[in-house]
């Protein structure tokens, strides 16, 4: 199964859509291969079949820090510090 996209993420937001669907937003570490695979999967007619396993990471693993200024993580001039 070479089409498997495997990654670790934290749930950032869960919301319902107007038609009753669920929209899930994930925070994940920046991995170019994972990002490329997810971008390639974002096309009409393609769905992701997902299975999630909630784990408590070991103390040695640093959790994603929500206090990071997200503008520092992008090169987009629209989000550059003023």
Q: Which of 63, 7, 61, 13 has the alpha carbon at shortest distance from 35?
A: 7
**Domain range for residue 38?**
9-79
Say if 61 falls within a structural domain: yes
Q: Which residues make Cβ contacts (< 8 Å) with residue 36, sequence separation at least 6?
A: none
Say if 2 falls within a structural domain: no
pLDDT at 79 over 50: yes
Say if 4 falls within a structural domain: no
For residues 66 and 15, give the distance between their C-alpha atoms in angstroms, rounded to a whole number: 19
Say if 49 falls within a structural domain: yes
pLDDT band at 14 (very low <50, low <70, confident <90, very high): very high
Tally: H helices and E strands in the chain? 1, 2
| Mean pLDDT to the nearest integer, 36-57 | 88
Number of domains in the chain: 1
Indicate whether this model's pTM tops 0.75.
no
Q: Which residues make Cβ contacts (< 8 Å) with residue 34, sequence separation at least 6?
A: 5, 6, 7, 28
């Amino acid at each position: 199964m070479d089409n498997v996209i495997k990654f670790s993420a934290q749930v950032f937001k869960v919301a319902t859509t107007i038609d009753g669907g669920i929209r899930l937003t994930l925070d994940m570490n920046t991995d170019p291969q994972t990002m490329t695979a997810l971008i390639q999967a974002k096309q009409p007619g393609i769905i992701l079949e997902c299975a999630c396993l909630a784990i408590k990471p070991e103390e040695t693993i640093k959790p994603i820090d929500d206090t990071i200024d997200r503008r520092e993580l992008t090169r987009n001039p629209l989000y550059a510090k003023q």
